[in-house]
Amino acid sequence: MFDMQHIAELTPDLLSLTPAEARARIAAWLAVRGEPPYRVRQILPRLWQRPVGSWEDATDLPAPLRRGLDDAFPLPRFELAAHQVSRDGTEKFLWALGDGEAIESVLIPEGRRRTLCISSQVGCALGCVFCATGRMGFRRNLSAGEIACQVRELLLRDASPQPTNVVFMGMGEPLLNWTAVDAALTILNQPDGLGIGARHITLSTVGIVPNLTLLAKRPEQFRLAVSLHAPTPEVRLALMPIEKKYALSEVLTALGQFRRRVTFEYVLIGGRNDMPELADRLADLAAPLGALVNLLPLHPGGAPDLARSSRAASAEFARRLKARGVTAVLRRSRGLDIAAACGQLRVELEPRRKVPAQEHARVE
Ligand code: SAH
Ligand code: SF4
């Protein structure tokens, strides 16, 4: 049983609670106010299922109750600081947060799928040499609400299509913000949250070994993408400083805990990790795990001093993987004209300075 008074004293941030916690929190608050318990069934859906921008808009509730909710549980909103639409339909949203920090999310349409690439931190501490977010450094963790509200804000905007899939491939390393990401996964997935199927939610990580175990323990079939980028410790160390803390071999061992098929992300960088013999080494790692390999062209925004692989080298790399029985897909860049590919996100906003809104600024 929940201690009512205790819950009533807790956080005002309903959007960072799992739906079950939010229900208990609202129920406790209603009880303290002497309101009928059935009101919880009107209030809870306003968080995620039929979201409102502010309690005032929940017009099925009596006005005094709406005012009470507004005092007790303000619903923070992001400010859309910039919005760009690429020629290929990719949309980039730059959101200003309450404290003046900013994050990006990217909506990528692909057939009937609309994948929203969301951020889990402002910046990232891990400094992979090819990554634009890494160059920003770490600024802060996002709350569970700030992670899930990247979807919520789109639902609140009539102009934006609803995402069908979510990938944690925006700014930040999700497994270094586990407590918030853990709750956000629940919010994204549960029917009384955003109701997105676990198979439509992908967490991307460089492999924070202890937290891979925590993710593996979740019963839902969330998809896992591991940003590998290198099949040997030497190559990985030169690209990803995290190799010093969590070595490639430990990451691969940790993947044995997952019952589901893992995807390896591999950004092809000319002369660094795209040599044919490295494709063979990668196949040796991927084949026993049955892992799928996503080969990604290097996005030029991440590292001006690195070159993307030539078309011929990329094709040969993919061919060698396939020859060894590994499913490999050579991806193309999306949203290039607006620097909006996943992993490309770097806030071009001066801290605490607001950029004028550029609604639908089409980049031609
Ligand atoms: N920190 C997590 C999730 C965010 S990065 C991770 O690294 O997995 C999301 C993806 O974008 C990762 O696979 C990352 O390696 C990739 N990425 C980063 N910089 C890139 C670049 N310049 N070009 C292409 N992909 C890049
Ligand atoms: Fe961080 Fe991922 Fe970028 Fe590496 S690739 S710096 S882990 S966001």
pLDDT digits (tens, 9 = 90+) for 30-51: 999 999 999 999 999 999 999 9
Residue 58 backbone dihedrals phi, psi, to 5 degrees:
-85, 75
Residues 6+ apart with CB under 8 A from 178: 211, 214
Residue 355 has pLDDT above 90, yes or no: no
Note whether 146 and 171 are same-domain residues: yes
Domain boundary among 47, 72, 97: 72
* Closest ligand by atom to 170 CA: 1
- C-alpha separations of 232 from 249, 268, 282 in Å: 9, 15, 8
Average pLDDT of the residues in 115-132: 95
- CA of 285 from ligand 2 middle (Å) equals 21
Question: Smallest Cα–Cα separation from 12: which of 127, 98, 116, 125?
Answer: 98
Note whether 179 and 324 are same-domain residues: yes
Note whether 49 and 95 are same-domain residues: no
* Closest ligand by atom to 293 CA: 1
Average pLDDT of the residues in 242-266: 96
Note whether 200 and 310 are same-domain residues: yes
User: Is residue 14 in some structural domain?
Assistant: yes
More confident residue, 353 or 74: 74
* 152: CATH: 3.20.20.70
Strand order of the β-sheet with 102-110 is 328-330, 292-297, 262-268, 223-227, 201-205, 165-168, 113-117, 102-110, 91-96, 79-85, 361-362
Beta bridge partners of 108: 115
Looking at the 3D structure of the chain, how many domains does it have?
2
Provide the pLDDT for residue 348.
54
Q: Say which range, 113-127, 226-240, 307-321, 336-350, has the weakest mean pLDDT.
A: 336-350
| Phi-psi group of 255: left, alpha or beta (phi > 0 → left; psi -120 to 50 → alpha; rest → beta) | alpha
Give the dihedral of Cα atoms 130, 132, 138, 141; nearest 10 deg: -110
Q: How far apart are CA 165 and CA 175, in angstroms?
A: 19
User: Is residue 364 in some structural domain?
Assistant: no
| Cβ-count burial 266-275 (b if 16+ within 10 Å, e if not) | bbbbeebbbb
Average pLDDT of the chain, as a whole number: 90
State the chain's maximal CA–CA distance in angstroms.
Answer: 71
Positive or negative, the CA dihedral 301, 306, 308, 314 is: negative
Counting from 1 in the atom list of ligand 2, the atom nearest the Cα of 134 is 6
Note whether 163 and 238 are same-domain residues: yes
Provide the pLDDT for residue 336.
58
Contact by Cβ (8 Å): 166, 200: yes
Provide the pLDDT for residue 363.
31
Alpha carbon nearest to ligand 1 atom 16, residue: 343
The tokens for 92 are: 């980039």
Residue whose CB lies within 8 A of the most ligand 1 atoms, among 342, 345, 346, for a mutation test: 342
User: Is residue 28 in some structural domain?
Assistant: yes
Query: What are the helix and strand counts (H, E) for the chain?
Result: 12, 13
* Closest ligand by atom to 135 CA: 2
Counting from 1 in the atom list of ligand 2, the atom nearest the Cα of 124 is 1
The tokens for 101 are: 């920090």
Q: How far apart are CA 330 and CA 261, in angstroms?
A: 18
Note whether 95 and 18 are same-domain residues: no
Q: Which residues line ligand 1 (CB under 6 A)?
A: 124, 130-131, 168-169, 173, 204-206, 227, 265, 267, 296, 298-299, 302, 341-344
Provide the pLDDT for residue 300.
81
Provide the pLDDT for residue 337.
61
pLDDT digits (tens, 9 = 90+) for 327-353: 999 987 766 565 555 555 555 544 443
User: Is residue 37 in some structural domain?
Assistant: yes
Note whether 48 and 84 are same-domain residues: no
User: Is residue 55 in some structural domain?
Assistant: yes
Helix (H) or strand (E) holding 236: helix 233-239
Provide the pLDDT for residue 12.
86
Note whether 261 and 343 are same-domain residues: yes
Average pLDDT of the residues in 173-191: 98
Provide the pLDDT for residue 359.
32
The tokens for 113 are: 């799928």
Residue 135 backbone dihedrals phi, psi, to 5 degrees:
-70, -20
Domain boundary among 27, 57, 72: 72
Q: Say which range, 110-124, 176-190, 299-313, has the weakest mean pLDDT.
A: 299-313
Q: How far apart are CA 88 and CA 164, in angstroms?
A: 18
pTM higher than 0.85: yes
User: Is residue 140 in some structural domain?
Assistant: yes
pLDDT digits (tens, 9 = 90+) for 262-308: 999 999 999 999 999 999 999 999 999 999 999 999 988 778 899 99
Q: How far apart are CA 343 and CA 170, in angstroms?
A: 6
Q: Which residues are catalytic?
A: 104, 342
User: Is residue 298 in some structural domain?
Assistant: yes
- CA of 204 from ligand 2 middle (Å) equals 10
The DSSP-derived string for 287-335 is HHHT-EEEEEEPPTTT-TT--BPPHHHHHHHHHHHHHTT--EEE----S
Residue 326 has pLDDT above 50, yes or no: yes
pLDDT digits (tens, 9 = 90+) for 126-177: 999 999 999 989 999 999 999 999 999 999 997 777 899 999 999 999 999 9
Q: Which residues line ligand 2 (CB under 6 A)?
A: 124, 126-128, 131, 133-134, 172-173, 206, 227, 343
Domain boundary among 72, 87, 106: 72
Alpha carbon nearest to ligand 2 atom 6, residue: 134
Note whether 36 and 179 are same-domain residues: no
Note whether 83 and 20 are same-domain residues: no
Provide the pLDDT for residue 9.
55
Note whether 48 and 96 are same-domain residues: no
Q: How far apart are CA 335 and CA 297, in angstroms?
A: 13
Count of other CB atoms within 10 angstroms of residue 357: 14
Provide the pLDDT for residue 345.
55
More confident residue, 245 or 356: 245
Alpha carbon nearest to ligand 2 atom 4, residue: 128
Provide the pLDDT for residue 114.
94
More confident residue, 213 or 359: 213
Contact by Cβ (8 Å): 215, 203: yes
Provide the pLDDT for residue 350.
43
User: Is residue 269 in some structural domain?
Assistant: yes
Range of the domain at 178: 79-359
* 63: CATH: 1.10.150
Provide the pLDDT for residue 304.
85
Note whether 214 and 269 are same-domain residues: yes
